[in-house]
Structure 1
């Protein structure tokens, strides 16, 4: 359909380097540059900062563990671990400012359900809090060492101090990355899922409000008018049969309009043709209602899970509505295919272009909805056109199993389909 999004096998989006490893300072040299002075400031501040952290950790542990014989000890220990998270955040900020170490913030603790004790248990088994406690315990002797060596070196080791501070600062960088970074991909994934859950909830609430509004303003209002018209026709039936017949005829027209609105509403919730015949027939039906000619090609050997199928249908439906309303296009194409555990949708038009994820709530909302199910939306729409929108979804078969490769990093099959 258009040129490939990228060479074969190339991901659609660039994958950033692992956090904390692309922030190496320049090599040390016999000079006192900005990096060297920042490292010296960090090493001199290690002693007071590590002293505060050590006192907090020891006090928290001794108080919490010492009082575990009572019911007060465990809550104190849990609260202490939450406070340790705050210390870790402050240390990450200090390392980011002075050492250039950029590590992701660990995910927040999941909101436990079931009351006080489940939430307490979540805080007591928090790996982020315990790693910060370990960081606080080992930092005091290290802080004393770095403070003494750096302060002494300012008057004794001046020519080689940049090399000494670089070695000590690199050890600090390793501690921050090792103990204050998210433990593994799982924690980052938890944060993503928490965000996605909020998107799903907001989307579902918006859909319910839309359905309620459509029912209230459309079919419901029409049925109310129908009831009033039939009531008047009943009163006129004996005294003016001709007028009553006219009213019944008008009511018949209202019934037809109400049925049409209800069918459109049902199609907007989940069309029957999608359930009965799958994406090919459902997308062809959507394309027939578009204001420009649309060619639909669906290359699937089997149907995906109903939820994925529904998301694919509504994504294409909304994109075709955008083409009808805003593109000024003369033709459009829709292509659907499966590759390496992913379902791909590509919608192309020869309109005026200029569409973007930041151009309005429609495409941005589609991107959020796809992201909530581990999907992806890529928009290529230069001014003057054409516009190519590629959507990617994880493939799940109709038994609910996730296809092999569907949970890997998102990447497009860049076949340049036409």
Structure 2
């Protein structure tokens, strides 16, 4: 999980040095030639089926876009096109020896993000649209290759291996160009665009929480404080002892209001994180946990403030879960850097049973990680222990300023 080698990739998912060249033509009838002939003869029924499917889906969904079922029908059609692409890749692999990686699955957006974000994600799927294009343009090619191959079987028998190799090389190029995960970056961009909704929802929830905490906490205390001081002012001359008691009570309210404001500010972005970084900030969080927590931070420098903040609040939320739900006797927090990733691991020896869909804010943490191209893994068998591992992209503060 921590190693993510990056290299130049072509359309088939292989590096340029690994990509095999197209096979040369030769005058020979061997098993490879017969497989190529079988592929060319199968082009007509396969291309006819794909063309009819695509035209039917596109025309029907376009006609129905004036109703509520048009776009869902188009999305279902694109999902079906993905399956046709999978079938064509399998056929090319079996008959042409073309090894093309399967594209990544569409990310699912369940829960509160619901139906419409998932629909929009499917409608923007580049793999589905490239497969649709492949099936749409293949009918003329399927007719041509079927006709040439069938005719050559009876007329141009001596040169048929040469013809078959040339035609199937064109098929190989089309499969690699349109049916491979060549636009993985495009898919990631689409996924990250979708994840912006998660960030917006999280920010809106945080603002509502701050507003609620201010209204129910510090604001209410300050209102009571103002009323108490007003009453004390009225009694100052006629009943100095009662006024003094009211002022003393108001002083206590001021202390409580200040403490609530400090806690609220810590929940927004703690000063210790800004001034001293993750090591000191996480140590402060661990000191408030109800179980002993060992904190180990091994970072050569500080990441940008956004990543640092996500790391802080992730650990803070996880340690709150340890305090409230785990029944643990001890816990640990480890933070370190590996290449261009910031890694976080929170462990406890509690009862286990934590799940991404189990509440306690864990689903929200996973969504927040996903929104910044991070990873979030929970290992928590019943009976424990629980290990939560998170990855974030690393960016130096100097790089951010540059």
Give the TM-score of the pair, scaled to structure 1.
0.63
Task: In structure 1, list runs of 5 or more residues that go unmatched.
Answer: 1-5, 12-17, 22-28, 30-38, 58-83, 108-125, 154-167, 403-418
- Report if aligned partners of 1:43, 1:169 keep a CA contact under 8 Å in 2: no
Shift in Å at residue 317 of structure 1? 0.6
Instruction: Tell me which residue corresponds to 2:250.
Output: 251
Q: Distance in 2 between matches of 1:88 and 1:42?
A: 21
Provide the rounded CA distance (Å) in 1 between the counterparts of 2:140 and 2:77: 14
Q: Does 1:344 align with 2:343?
A: yes
CA RMSD of aligned residues (A): 4.6
In structure 2, relative to structure 1, the CA distance for the partners of 1:375 and 1:224 (3 Å cut) is same
1:178 Cα shift? Answer: 2.9
1:203 aligns with 2:202: yes
The verdict on how the C-alpha distance between 1:105 and 1:175 changes in structure 2, with shifts beyond 3 A counting, is farther
Q: Is the 8 A contact 1:354 1:383 kept in 2?
A: yes
- State the alpha-carbon separation in 2 of the partners of residues 301 and 45 from structure 1: 57
Q: Please give the alpha-carbon distance, in whole angstroms, between the structure 1 residues aligned to 2:260 and 2:307.
A: 26
Question: Any conservation in 1 of the 2:43–2:146 contact (CA below 8 Å)?
Answer: no
- Higher RCO (Cα < 8 Å, 6 or more apart): 1
Match of 1:116 in 2: none
> In the TM superposition, what is the alpha-carbon distance from 1:95 to its structure 2 partner?
4.5
Query: What secondary structure sits across from 1:333 in the alignment?
Result: strand
Q: Is the 8 A contact 2:43 2:145 kept in 1?
A: no
The corresponding residue for 2:212 is 213
The answer for the alignment partner of 2:122 in structure 1 is: none
For residues 268 and 378 of structure 1, what CA distance do their matches in structure 2 show? 24
Match of 2:274 in 1: 275
Q: Find the counterpart in structure 2 of residue 223 from structure 1.
A: 222
Asked whether the 8 Å contact 2:222–2:254 carries over to 1, the reply is yes
Pairing 1:161-240 to 2, within 5 Å after superposition: 175=174, 178-179=177-178, 183-240=182-239
Distance 1:242 1:373, change over 3 A: same
CA 1:326–1:361 in structure 2 vs 1: closer, same or farther (change >3 Å)?
closer
C-alpha distance in 2, partners of 1:229/1:138?
A: 82
Residues 256 and 266 (structure 1), Cα distance of their counterparts in 2 relative to 1, 3 Å cut: same
Specify the SS of the correspondent of 1:276.
helix
Measured after TM superposition, the shift of residue 401 of structure 1 is 4.9
| CA deviation after TM superposition for structure 1 residue 143, in Å | 3.7
Aligned to 2:368: 369
The 5-angstrom pairing of residues 6-405 of structure 1 reads 43-44=44-45, 46-47=47-48, 50=51, 91-96=81-86, 103=103, 136-143=136-143, 145-146=145-146, 175=174, 178-179=177-178, 183-360=182-359, 362-401=361-400
Q: Which sections of structure 2, spanning at least 5 residues, go unmatched?
A: 5-10, 15-30, 32-39, 59-73, 92-101, 108-125, 154-166
In the TM superposition, residue 271 of structure 1 has moved relative to its aligned partner by 0.4
Residue correspondences, number: 319
Aligned residue for 1:239, secondary structure, equals coil
Q: CA deviation at 1:172?
A: 7.0
- In structure 1, distance between residues paired with 2:180 and 2:88: 17
CA distance in 2, matches of 1:384, 1:127: 42
Could you tell me how far apart the structure 1 residues matched to 2:386 and 2:47 are?
Answer: 55
Q: Which residue of 1 aligns with 2:112?
A: none
> Is 1:47–1:144's contact at 8 Å kept on the other side of the alignment?
no
Kept in 1, the 8 Å contact 2:333–2:344? The answer is yes
More helix by share: 2
2:291 touches 2:331 (CA, 8 Å); kept in 1?
yes
SS at match of 2:246: helix
Equivalent residue for 2:71? Answer: none
Partner SS for 1:389: strand
Aligned-partner Cα distance in 1 for 2:377–2:76: 37
The answer on whether the counterparts of 1:85 and 1:128 sit within 8 Å (CA) in structure 2 is no
User: Structure 2 length normalisation: TM-score?
Assistant: 0.65
* Structure 2 CA distance for aligned equivalents of residues 176 and 53 of structure 1: 17
1:278 CA displacement: 1.1
Question: In 2 relative to 1, CA 145–324 (structure 1 residues): closer, same or farther, beyond 3 Å?
Answer: same
